[in-house]
């Protein structure tokens, strides 16, 4: 797989830092700020594509990921 492609990044606060996840590939990273977590995830994805076995990449790309929202009643 060559060229650039846009991936989903979900970033949430965890403790005093942030965790970033790319759900399409199940690759995660972290950082002290949102931007640092985003940059670290970008680096983790680049390393994944550089060093992962092609069969591992194909396996992770096999599923579909849908990002949406749901509305749920809370409490009684």
Confidence bin at 64 (pLDDT 50/70/90): confident
Tens of pLDDT, residue by residue over 30-59, are: 999 999 999 999 999 999 999 999 999 999
Domain ranges of the chain: 10-60
Mean pLDDT of 20-29: 96
Task: Report whether pLDDT(8) > 90.
Answer: yes
* Cα separation values, 19 from 1, 4, 30, 53, Å: 26, 23, 4, 25
Mean pLDDT score across all residues of the chain: 93
pTM of the predicted protein model: 0.85
């Amino acid at each position: 797989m060559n060229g650039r492609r846009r991936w989903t990044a979900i970033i949430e606060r965890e403790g005093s830092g942030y965790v970033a996840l790319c759900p399409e590939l199940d690759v995660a990273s972290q950082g002290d700020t949102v931007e640092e977590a985003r940059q670290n995830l970008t680096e983790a994805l680049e390393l994944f594509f550089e060093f992962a076995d092609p069969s591992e990449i194909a396996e992770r790309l096999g599923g579909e990921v849908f990002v949406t929202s749901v509305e749920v009643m809370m409490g009684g």
